[in-house]
Amino acid sequence: MRFNILLGILASGVLNLAIADEWNNSYLVDSHGNPVVTQDYECVKTPQSPNTAWLGKCHKKRYGGNVNIKNVNLAGDILFAFNKAVLNPQAGDILKSLVAQLDIYSLQSIEVVGHTDNIGSEIYNQKLSIKRAANVANYLVKLGVPAYKIYYRGEGETNPIMPNITKMGQAQNRRVAIIIK
C-alpha cells in the first residue's frame, strides 16, 4: 500500500511537470514565470502553442473567461532594458505571437500605451514612455498591422498599477499596455 501511495505521488509530480512544461511552451509568461493575461484573464499564446484544446483549459480551468483579447499588459523588463526604449530581441517574439493571434482585417484599432516607474523626473519618464510605445507600435507595423490602425501614447509615471515604494512595484509599473479593439 505504501508503494502505491508513493507511486501515485511520483506520478502526480511527473504529470504536474509535464503540464508546467506545456504551459511554459504554450503561453507567454512574464519575467516571474506568470502567464501574460488580458484584462479579461485570458492567456496569450506563443507561436509554439498547440491548438485550442489546451487554450480552452487555460481559459476555463486556470482563469475563466472568453477568448477575445482586449487588453494586454507586457512587462517592461521583457520588452526593454532598464531606462532604454530599444526593444530587446525577445520582445520581437512576444509581439510576433500577439500579432499571429489577431485578425488584422477585422481589427478596429490597437492602442499602445507606455508606462514607467517614478525613477527620474516626470518629464524624462513621459518622454521615455512615449519612445517605448512608439517603438512597439513601429514593430507592430513591421509585422503587418496597418499603420492607420495603430495609435500610441505615453503616460509616464502617472498611471502606476503598484506603489512605487519597492523595486518590485517599480518593475511592475514599467510596462506597455496594448489595447486591442
List, as one string, the DSSP characters of 19-72: HHHHHHHHB-B-TTSPBPBBTT-PBPBPTT---HHHHHIIIIIII---S---EE
- What domains can be seen in the chain, in order of their start residue? 1-66 (no CATH), 69-181 (3.30.1330.60)
Q: Find the helix or strand (DSSP H, E) in which 111 lies.
A: strand 110-115
The region of weakest confidence among 9-23, 43-57, 84-98 is 9-23
pLDDT confidence of 105, banded at 50, 70, 90?
A: confident
pLDDT confidence of 26, banded at 50, 70, 90?
A: low
What is the rounded CA–CA span in Å between residue 168 and residue 29?
17
Whether residue 20 is predicted with pLDDT greater than 50 in this model: the reply is no
Average model confidence (pLDDT) for the chain?
A: 74
pLDDT confidence of 41, banded at 50, 70, 90?
A: low
Q: What is the pLDDT of residues 68-82, one digit of tens each?
A: 457 888 988 889 988
pLDDT confidence of 32, banded at 50, 70, 90?
A: low
Output phi, psi for 58, to 5 deg.
-60, -50
Give pLDDT, residue 130: 97
* Cell (9 digits) for 82: 532598464
pLDDT confidence of 103, banded at 50, 70, 90?
A: confident
pLDDT confidence of 42, banded at 50, 70, 90?
A: low
Q: What is the pLDDT of residues 113-150, one digit of tens each?
A: 999 999 999 999 999 999 999 999 999 999 999 999 99
Mean pLDDT of 41-55: 51
Give pLDDT, residue 101: 85
Our CA angle for 44, 45, 50, nearest 5°, is 150
Residue, of 120 and 3, whose pLDDT is higher: 120
Contact 71, 177 (CB under 8 A): yes
